[in-house]
Chains A and B, each alone.
Chain A
Amino acid sequence: MEALKDKLESSFLVFENELNGQALGEVHNRRKEAFERFVESGFPTKRHEEWKYTNLKPILKHDYRVFLSDDNTVDFSAIKKFFLSDTDTYKLVFIDGYYSSWLSETTHEKFDICTFSSMLTKYRDVAEKYFNKALPKEEALASVNTAFAKEGAFIRIKRNQTADKPVELIFITTDHGVETMSQPRNLVVVEENAEVSILERHQSLSSKPVLTNVATEIFALRDSRLNYYKIQNDVHTASLIDSTSVKQYANSSVTVGTFALGNKFVRNNLNFFLEEEYTQSYLDGITIIDEGQTVDHHTLVDHKVPNCYSDELYKGIYDANAHGVFNGKVMVHPHAQKTNAFQQNNNILLTDKASIDTKPQLEIYADDVKCSHGCTIGQLDDEALFYMQSRGIPEKEAKALLLYAFANDSLRNVKIPALRKKLNRQIANKLNVNLDFEL
Chain B
Amino acid sequence: MKTEESYLEEVTASEYKYGFYTNIESDKVPPGLNEEVIRIISAKKNEPEWMLEWRLDAFRKFQKMTEPKWPNVTYPEPDLQAISYYAAPKKKKELESLDEVDPELLKTFEKLGISLDEQKRLTGVAMDVVVDSVSVATTFKAKLRELGIIFCSISEAIQEHPELVKKYLGTVVPKSDNYYAALNSAVFTDGSFCYIPKGVRCPMELSTYFRINEAGTGQFERTLVIADEASYVSYLEGCTAPMRDENQLHAAVVELVALDDAEIKYSTVQNWYPGDKEGKGGVYNFVTKRGLCERNAKISWTQVETGSAVTWKYPSCILKGENSVGEFYSVAVTNNYQQADTGTKMIHLGKNTKSTIISKGICAGKSNGSYRGLVKIGPRAENARNFSQCDSLLMGDGCGSHTFPYIETQNKSAKIEHEATTSKIGEDQIFYCQQRGIGEEEAIALIVNGYCKDVLNQLPMEFAVEAQKLLAISLEGSVG
Contacts and interface: CB of A to CB of B under 8 A. Distances in A.
A350 B394 CA distance: 39
Contacts of A377: 407, 409, 414-416
A358 B392 CA distance: 20
B403 A374 contact: no
A347 B406 CA distance: 14
B396 interface: yes
B349 to A, nearest CB: 14
A349 B418 contact: no
A134 interface: no
A166 interface: no
B472 to A, nearest CB: 22
A49 B115 CA distance: 48
B423 interface: yes
Contact of A376 (B397, B417, B420): B417
B420 A373 contact: yes
A372 B392 contact: no
Contacts of A367: 394-397, 399, 424
B423 A369 contact: yes
B339 to A, nearest CB: 13
B174 interface: no
Contacts of B411: 349, 352
Nearest to B421: A372
A282 B415 CA distance: 27
B418 A374 contact: yes
A377 B408 CA distance: 10
Contacts of B416: 375-378
A379 interface: yes
A360 B422 CA distance: 13
B28 interface: no
Interface in A361-414: 361-379
A204 to B, nearest CB: 30
B410 A352 contact: yes
B398 A362 contact: no
Contact of A357 (B394, B402, B407): B407
B397 A368 contact: yes
Given A367-B394, A377-B414, A379-B415, A355 B408 contact: yes
Contacts of A110: none
A198 interface: no
A372 B423 CA distance: 9
Contacts of A362: 401-403, 420, 422
A397 B167 CA distance: 55
A372 B399 contact: no
A359 interface: yes
A378 B415 contact: yes
B146 interface: no
Contact of A364 (B400, B409, B414): B400
A49 B70 contact: yes
A337 interface: yes
Nearest to A348: B412
B419 A375 contact: yes
A433 to B, nearest CB: 20
B397 A371 contact: no
A350 B409 CA distance: 12
B418 A376 contact: yes
A352 B405 contact: no
Contacts of B70: 49
Question: Secondary structure at chain A's binding surface: helix, strand, loop or mixed?
Answer: strand
A369 B393 CA distance: 10
B404 interface: yes
Contact of B409 (A349, A361, A365): A349
B430 to A, nearest CB: 13
B407 A361 contact: no
A254 B27 CA distance: 67
A383 B413 CA distance: 15
Contacts of B410: 352, 355
Interface in B370-395: 379, 392, 394-395
B414 A361 contact: no
Nearest to B371: A362
A349 B419 contact: no
A354 B379 CA distance: 9
B341 to A, nearest CB: 12
Nearest to B418: A375
B412 A354 contact: yes
B421 A371 contact: yes
A372 B419 contact: yes
Contacts of B398: 334
A307 to B, nearest CB: 15
A309 to B, nearest CB: 15
Contacts of B420: 360, 362, 372-374
Contact of A359 (B402, B404, B424): B404
Contacts of B397: 334-335, 337, 366-368
A208 to B, nearest CB: 31
Contacts of B417: 374-376, 378
Interface string B40-65: 00000000000000000000000000
Nearest to B415: A378
B392 A352 contact: no
A366 B395 CA distance: 9
Nearest to A366: B397
Given A359-B407, A379-B413, A371 B419 contact: no
A337 B397 CA distance: 9
A358 B407 CA distance: 5
Contacts of B400: 334, 363-365
B407 to A, nearest CB: 5
Contacts of A379: 412-413, 415
Interface in A324-363: 334-335, 337, 347, 349-352, 354-363
A356 B409 contact: yes
Nearest to A371: B422
B26 to A, nearest CB: 42
Interface in B240-259: none
Nearest to B70: A49
Contacts of A347: 409
Most-contacted residue by chain B among A352, A358, A362, A374 (CB, 10 A):
A362
B423 A370 contact: yes
Contacts of A351: 412
A326 to B, nearest CB: 9
Given A368-B397, A375-B419, A359 B405 contact: yes
Given A352-B410, A355-B410, A357-B408, A373 B403 contact: yes
A347 to B, nearest CB: 8
A193 B153 CA distance: 73
A157 to B, nearest CB: 36
Interface in A132-166: none
Contacts of A335: 397
Counting chain B CB atoms within 10 Å of each CB, the highest count among A350, A358, A367, A368 belongs to A367
B235 to A, nearest CB: 32
A165 to B, nearest CB: 41
Ordered nearest first, which 7 A-B pairs have the shortest CB separation? Answer: A367-B394, A349-B412, A365-B400, A377-B416, A375-B418, A362-B403, A372-B421
Given A364-B402, A377-B416, 11 more contacts: A49-B70, A352-B410, A356-B409, A359-B407, A361-B402, A366-B397, A367-B394, A369-B394, A375-B418, A377-B414, A378-B414
14 contacts: A53-B408, A334-B398, A350-B412, A357-B406, A358-B407, A361-B404, A365-B399, A367-B396, A367-B424, A369-B423, A371-B421, A373-B419, A375-B405, A378-B416
Interface of A: 49, 53, 334-335, 337, 347, 349-352, 354-379
Interface of B: 70, 379, 392, 394-424
